[in-house]
């Protein structure tokens, strides 16, 4: 038997606890911190991700993975835009994850076209 001794069971329990902790750390994007960081984005993208400038896209409700990818591409230059390159350049990976979590957490509603 694999789990026949208390010592072995204990070892397994610790291994699972360590794995679970590592997993939750990796998942821990912080939408609240993202909202604070997004102060530098509100002029164009609005306080709740509904843009106030006609040429800036809405961000509210976009999937986090999409926002994250776009910001990383602006940062690397793969997606070229003068304004967003300047905005994305100083952002760290975790700041990008937090910003993405913030915008993704904003609920949006659509209706029938008028
Ligand atoms: C001065 C205005 C301005 C500011 C400030 C600004 N943006 Fe933008 N943002 C734009 C414009 C304009 C675009 C469209 C660029 C393009 O055509 O690629 C854009 C595009 C984006 C996109 C791509 C959206 C999509 O649908 O593909 C993301 C994500 C984004 N901005 C996030 C941010 C974040 C996060 C901040 C703050 C750190 C920020 N922006 C600050 C003007 C701005």
| Atom 27 of ligand 1: nearest residue by CA position | 70
Buried b (16+ CB within 10 A) or exposed e, 48-83: bbebeeeeeeebbbbebeebbebbbbbbeeeeeeee
Query: Which tokens sit at 27?
Result: 């998942």
Of 44, 103, 105, the residue with max ligand 1 atoms within 8 A of its CB, to mutate for a pocket test, comes to 44
- Report pLDDT digits (tens) over 5-48: 777 767 767 777 766 666 655 558 999 999 999 999 999 999 99
- Report pLDDT digits (tens) over 43-101: 999 999 999 999 999 999 999 999 999 999 999 999 999 999 999 999 999 999 999 99
The answer to whether residue 2 scores a pLDDT higher than 70 is no
Of 56, 79, 92, the residue with max ligand 1 atoms within 8 A of its CB, to mutate for a pocket test, comes to 56
């Amino acid at each position: 038997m694999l789990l026949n001794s208390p010592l072995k069971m204990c070892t397994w329990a610790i291994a699972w606890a360590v794995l679970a902790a590592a997993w939750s750390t990796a998942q821990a994007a912080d939408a609240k911190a993202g909202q604070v960081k997004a102060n530098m984005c509100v002029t164009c993208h609005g306080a709740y991700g509904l843009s106030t400038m006609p040429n800036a896209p809405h961000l509210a409700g976009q999937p986090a993975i999409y926002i994250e990818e776009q910001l990383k591409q602006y940062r690397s230059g793969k997606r070229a835009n003068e304004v967003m390159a300047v905005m994305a350049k100083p952002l760290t990976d975790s700041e990008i994850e937090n910003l993405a979590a913030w915008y993704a957490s904003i609920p949006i509603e659509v209706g029938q076209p008028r």
